[in-house]
Structure 1
Amino acid sequence: MQNRLELTATVEREDSLRYTPAGLPVLEMWLRHQSRQSAANLERDVVCEIQAVLLGEMAKKFAGKLAGNTVQCTGFLSQRSLRNTRLVLHIEYVEFVRG
C-alpha cells in the first residue's frame, strides 16, 4: 500500500546541498502551508511549517532554486531518524506553482 501526501506550500528556507557519508545528495528545507479546510462541517484555517527533504538527483537539480517559491510536492512522511521521531516530508516529486 502506498500512501502519498500532496501539499502546496511556500519554501520558507532551504539549506545548502550536502552529501551523506555514502555520497547521496541531500537538500533539506522548511515548507509553510496555508489553506482553508473543512472538518466536521466546520471551516478552519490551517497554517503549519513542515520540514522536508529531497534526496538524490532531485536534490542536485533543485538546490538553490526553491527558497521563496511556492511548490506542489508529493511524498511520504517518516521520522527523521531512528533516534529522532520528528516527522519529515520526503519529497518524491516537486514542481513550481505559477502565481
Structure 2
Amino acid sequence: MQNRLVLTATVEREDILRYTPAGVPVLDMWLRHHSRQQEAGVERDVICEIQGIMAGDACREWAGKLAGQTVRVSGFISQRSLRNSRLVLHIEYVEFVKG
C-alpha cells in the first residue's frame, strides 16, 4: 500500500527542537496550504492546515529556519497517536520554494 503526500505550504508556526526520551530530535510545525484545484471540471479554492513532524538528525539542520517560509515537503500521514486519530504529516524531505 502507498502512503505518500507531497505538499507545498507555508510554515505558519515552528516549535523549538525537542528530544524524545531516547534522544531522537523532533521538530513540530504547522503547515498552511492554499491553491486552486480542478474537481469535476470546476475550479475550487483549497485551504487546509496540517501538523507536520520531522524526526531524526535532519531536524537539527532545519530547526529555526522554517517559520514563515514556503516549502515543499513530502512524507507520510498517520494518526497522531493510538488515542488521537487526528492526522499528522511525518516529514521526510523539505525544500524551500522560491517565490
TM range (shorter): over 0.9
Q: What is the root-mean-square deviation in Å for CA atoms of aligned residues?
A: 0.8
Aligned counterparts of 1:77 and 1:3: Cα–Cα separation in 2 = 7
Given that 2:3 and 2:77 are in contact with CA atoms closer than 8 Å, whether structure 1 keeps it comes out as: no
Aligned counterparts of 1:28 and 1:12: Cα–Cα separation in 2 = 11
Structure 2 unmatched ranges of 5 or more:
none
Percent identity, aligned pairs only? 73
Q: Secondary structure at the match of 1:29?
A: strand
Q: State the match for 2:16 in structure 1.
A: 16
Aligned counterparts of 2:23 and 2:81: Cα–Cα separation in 1 = 18
- TM-score with structure 2 length normalisation? 0.96
**Structure 1 stretches of at least 4 aligned residues deviating more than 6 Å after TM superposition:** none
Aligned counterparts of 1:11 and 1:67: Cα–Cα separation in 2 = 5
How far 1:60 sits from its partner (Å)? 1.2
List per-residue Cα deviations over 1:11-66 (Å, max 9, x = no partner). Answer: 00000000011111000000000000111111100011110011001111100000
How far 1:95 sits from its partner (Å)? 0.3
1:37 aligns with 2:37: yes
* Aligned partner letter, 2:75: G
Aligned counterparts of 2:89 and 2:71: Cα–Cα separation in 1 = 14
Aligned counterparts of 1:61 and 1:4: Cα–Cα separation in 2 = 23
